Amino acid sequence: MADAELAPKAFSYIDKMGRPLRCFYLSFAFGCLAYLAELPQQNKVFTWLLSLCGMSSIISWASICGTHIRFRHALKLHGKDLDTLPYQSPLGVIGSWIGLFCNLFIIVVQFIAAVWPVGYHNMSPATRCSSFFQSFMAFFLIAIVYVGFKFFKGTTIRGVILSWKGIAFSNPHIVWGDGTLVADLMTTVNFTDAWNLGDYREYARLHPDLVVIEEKLWWLPKPLRGLITLFDFPWR
């Protein structure tokens, strides 16, 4: 995503072993949210996090289904055969339409449940407001991120026409180039002179200065590795 300018460029960094360390550190930082369970209001924290994760997953799958529908429509407009795809959805476009409908149905039902929760007659306005955002806050966060991305990147939604008749898909303006070459390893690649694992081990033995040895704590900065090993169990 960083190489495609869909994420900060700093996250495109990889080390000599091809590992995106900065991405690992970011994931590790979010893992620290588990310590929120120690707060006195742990039930409220769990409810908010569950709401964010659940609704965002539904919206993500809805967007995936919609993207697949547009992609298949673009293939048809450009006269591309489905056999040119390295992978085809088992259920095709019909499965994406069903998935899109189901996810949108869940979002609508979730909105109704957020506006009129169970027992809302006995709730105060503040309680109903809090309940609404607990159930539907992920929708607004995703909308803000989406609109913000469109604003800062200056991109537009192409190929979608909104009218009183509904939603129509026009030419999505997808430019097809040579594309990605999908190679059949059994027929197009010659493995006659390829190395096996034994060849690599022999090469590493003869050229130790040219081989990068993977360290056990590669995901930690070097100053912290010695501190961690002090707490290692003696029987390991």
pLDDT profile of the chain (236 residues), mean per 10 = 80 82 86 76 76 85 90 80 79 91 92 84 84 83 85 68 50 55 62 74 80 68 74 52
User: Is residue 32 in some structural domain?
Assistant: no
User: Is residue 86 in some structural domain?
Assistant: yes
Amino acid residing at 26: L
The two three-digit tokens of residue 47, written as one number = 């409810």
Q: Show the domain range for 139.
A: 39-156
User: Is residue 78 in some structural domain?
Assistant: yes
User: Is residue 179 in some structural domain?
Assistant: no
Q: How much is the pLDDT for 113?
A: 85
Q: How much is the pLDDT for 76?
A: 81
User: Is residue 187 in some structural domain?
Assistant: no
User: Is residue 183 in some structural domain?
Assistant: no
Give the predicted TM-score (pTM) of the model.
0.59
Q: How much is the pLDDT for 64?
A: 93
78 closest CA partner among 161, 179, 196, 213: 179
Q: Which string of b and e fits 17-30 if b means at least 16 CB within 10 Å?
A: eeeebbbeeeeeee
What is the count of structural domains for the chain?
1
Cα(99)–Cα(97) distance, integer angstroms: 5
User: Is residue 214 in some structural domain?
Assistant: no
H helices present in 39-196, as ranges: 42-77, 92-115, 125-153
User: Is residue 117 in some structural domain?
Assistant: yes
Q: How much is the pLDDT for 97?
A: 93
Name, in order, each residue with C-beta under 8 angstroms of 117's C-beta and a sequence gap of 6 or more: 123, 128, 131, 132, 135
